[in-house]
Amino acid sequence: MEIIKEHRWIAPLMSVLMVCILGISLMVESQNTKTGNTANTSGSQQWTAAAGTEQGQNRIRPKHIVDHGSSMNDMHSLKGVMPTLLLQVQAEKAVLDAKGVQAEKKASPAAKQAATAVSKAKIQSQSPPKKLFFTRTAMLTQADQAKATWSYSITAREVLLLQKIVMAEAEGEPYEGKVAVANVVLNRLRSANFPDTIREVIYQKAQFSPVANGRLDRVRPNAEAVKAVNEALEGHKAVPDHTYYFLSLTLADDLTVHHSRTKVKTIGNHTFYK
């Protein structure tokens, strides 16, 4: 009992010590928790900073490198798209062409006649030359008139007469054949072996069948005959300057020219001779 009384202060002291130890343990544990959280936060910040740095590097990466990659991607994309675009363009063109053909087919007869009339008027409005130029062996173009040894002033009546003989002789012949008939008349005008005027050349006896059968008086020159005469008067030649005769072997009653003259050229149903 005396021993207990002497050491009764030990129990409270032990209790105080236990409380202190427990408090210290709690403080240490709390400190460790804070330190861990701080480390985690620091790591997160470092990761974020690293990520930001990487993004920054991406942002400041040289532009030509980024553009190069983008251009290569664009080129690959275009290579894939171009065939499709080409097919679309071709398809659209085909549709437009088809519409154009349909529109042409649907054009009214009146519109076609109007277009033809305009074309004829344009041809007929071309004024033939007032004067023709020749050498001893050839008819010259208007541009070569300086080389001429003589000239011939042509009247409006003679132009009409030339158009009518072309129409009467070559109405169903190719355009080149019409020019050739006009050439024959002008070649005779130039030659010393035939009359000296266009009227006299055309009306020379037994030379042009439409004069004998009256067809020359009945025909009205069409646009093609007018154009052919204008070209011949300008110096265009479908047959050479030494061509003076022509006939249709299937229609002619007299083939003397065919047997006695040298063939130059055949155009349509007409054969031309010198």
Residues 205-210: contacts with CB under 8 Å, at least 24 apart? 208/165, 208/168, 208/169, 209/169, 210/165, 210/168, 210/169
d(CA 225, CA 178): 7
Residues 6+ apart with CB under 8 A from 88: none
With respect to residue 72, please indicate whether it lies within any of the assigned structural domains: no
Band (pLDDT 50/70/90 cuts) for residue 109 is confident
Q: Residue 17 above 90 pLDDT? A: no
Say if CB 247 and CB 209 are below 8 A apart.
no
User: What's the structural domain count of the chain?
Assistant: 1
Q: Residue 213 above 50 pLDDT? A: yes
With respect to residue 127, please indicate whether it lies within any of the assigned structural domains: yes
Band (pLDDT 50/70/90 cuts) for residue 184 is very high
Nearest residue to 163 (alpha-carbon basis) of 248, 253, 232: 232
With respect to residue 82, please indicate whether it lies within any of the assigned structural domains: no
With respect to residue 171, please indicate whether it lies within any of the assigned structural domains: yes
pLDDT given at position 30: 65
With respect to residue 11, please indicate whether it lies within any of the assigned structural domains: no
Q: Average pLDDT in the 171-185 region?
A: 97
pLDDT given at position 96: 64
Q: Average pLDDT in the 218-239 region?
A: 97
**CATH number for position 199:** 1.10.10.2520
Band (pLDDT 50/70/90 cuts) for residue 138 is very high
List beta partners, residue 53: none
With respect to residue 208, please indicate whether it lies within any of the assigned structural domains: yes
- Percent of all residues in the chain with a pLDDT value above 70, rounded to a whole number: 58
Q: Residue 253 above 90 pLDDT? A: no
With respect to residue 40, please indicate whether it lies within any of the assigned structural domains: no
With respect to residue 27, please indicate whether it lies within any of the assigned structural domains: no
Band (pLDDT 50/70/90 cuts) for residue 252 is confident
pLDDT digits (tens, 9 = 90+) for 64-108: 444 444 545 555 554 555 556 566 656 666 666 666 556 555 556
pLDDT given at position 161: 98
Q: Which domain holds residue 195?
A: 121-239
Band (pLDDT 50/70/90 cuts) for residue 22 is confident
Q: Residue 189 above 90 pLDDT? A: yes
Q: Residue 261 above 80 pLDDT? A: yes
What torsion, rounded to 10 degrees, do the Cα atoms 57, 63, 66, 69 define? -150
d(CA 234, CA 144): 11
